[in-house]
Amino acid sequence: MTDARDPAADLVALRDVVDGPLHEIARRLSKFLAERWPHTALVIFTRECTGRPRKVAGDLEMINKVTIGELEEISSAVEPGLPVTTTALVAGEQRPVWVVRDVADTLLVLVPRTSRRRLPEPRLLAAIFGLVATSIRQQVAQASPDYLAESRAASSERERTLAEMAAAHEAVLVSILTTLRSTGLDDGRARLAAADSASAALVALRSAQKSDRALSEEPPPAAFTRLRTEIRQMLRHHEARIEFVAPSRDGRPLPGDIAHAARAMTCTTVLAFAAQPRLARLRIAWTCDDAALHVDVRDQGSGELDTAALRRQLQGRARTLGAGLDLDAAPGWGSRVTIDLPLDPPAEPSGGTRLTTLNRREREVLALLAQGKRNKAIAGELGITESTVKFHVTGVLQKLEVTSRGEAAAVALSAGLGAPAAP
């Protein structure tokens, strides 16, 4: 953070924190805070981001061990809006921490670089984090294609890792229980104590899995209730009669990225409908089955919906999630928009999953690299330096797990990125 005598520079630097890929916001915030609030680790915890509720920066050995349970415990012990210095369990150890809980329940935890207990300028830290937390919520609410791709990749990876861990641990614990319950063993009291411990561990493992899923999924009716609140707020001054048709309660839970995307796409559609002249009635319906969430927005009116403009607004999100999108407007009859959002990730070409780990700038660099352009040409087209291009190319190779530009280009082209436009 720059000298306090230059507030304009501080504001410019803070803009850089909030303007960029969401999954890197912890790293940018850590750099911004480092001078005034020196720390070894930074953690942001927000239930809004179902893909990555923890956003971390700093000491890898520490941040990789921070659990959701620890963060929930810290959050429950801190009042919103009042930064505190305290001691809390972080990464399996009791540590001095600086904590800020935003009024919207987003949490910031800093592990101080020194053992000093006093939190410098707590009100300033709270104000800065309030802006960052607001930016996070807005990016999630807008559900941009970049956010959805990153969130889906994170959710899929977390679900896979959690399932593998649960299966492995459960198998071990069941094996222990089977052995301990064997009548051929002596010392029944020791066996009983060990059996109780193993049973408790098994219950804890299953509870952790349920807790993680609770953060990453939404029941369809709950997701629709949030949507209804948002739409009523948006159209509070509109005279149209709005009919809401909620999904049934027995539907499959929605992955977080699908719930966010469905709300954002429905709201975008509703705003487009509301812009029509003489809109008297609007019907908004969600239905859900085991395979997809179906969004249906229709009216009975002038049929003057600008379908071309609305398609441009929706198609990026739809393409990212493999969703079906249909728009129709008939003058004098009315308009209708249907969106079919698959609940499971779409099958992707080879390398497609790895591409979702790239941030926006890395994807731009890779697309040009896949067209055969060299660093100088890429730098000129993107308006950055050649050294910056080299930095991004190195990051691309690492994230795609390849060793050459040619391999990276092959991955990009197989996934449809970087292919020249048709004449």
Residues 266 and 281 placed together within one structural domain of the fold: yes
Distance, CA of 202 to CA of 237 (rounded, Å): 54
Exposure string of 150-189, with b = 16+ CB inside 10 Å and e = fewer, is bbbbbbbebbeebeeeeeebeeebeebbeebeeeeeeeee
Are residues 96 and 17 part of one domain? yes
148: its two tokens: 């959805």
Q: How far apart are CA 93 and CA 115, in angstroms?
A: 15
Compute mean pLDDT per 10 residues along the chain, 423 residues long, and list them: 64 83 84 92 82 81 84 89 89 92 91 81 92 84 64 54 54 62 61 63 55 66 92 86 91 84 90 85 93 92 83 84 89 90 68 69 87 87 86 87 80 68 41
Residue 47: domain span:
7-142
Distance CA 282, CA 267 (A): 12
Count of domains observed in the chain: 4
347 occurs within a structural domain: no
Identify whether the C-beta of residue 110 lies closer than 8 Å to the C-beta of residue 98: yes
- From 142, 172, 204, give the residue that closes a domain: 142
Strands (E) located in 322-369: 324-330, 334-342
State pLDDT tens for residues 74-107.
998 888 888 899 999 998 899 999 999 998 889 9
Angle at 307 between CA 304 and CA 309, to 5 degrees: 115
Query: What is the pLDDT, as a whole number, of residue 147?
Result: 62
- Tell me, yes or no, whether 59 and 167 share the same domain: no
- Reference 33, options 2, 73, 69, 74; nearest CA is 2
224 and 210: one domain? no
- Tell me, what CATH number does 235's domain have? 3.30.565.10
Q: Is residue 310 a contact partner of residue 319, using CB atoms and an 8 Å limit? A: no
Q: Residues 181, 195: contact at Cβ < 8 Å?
A: yes
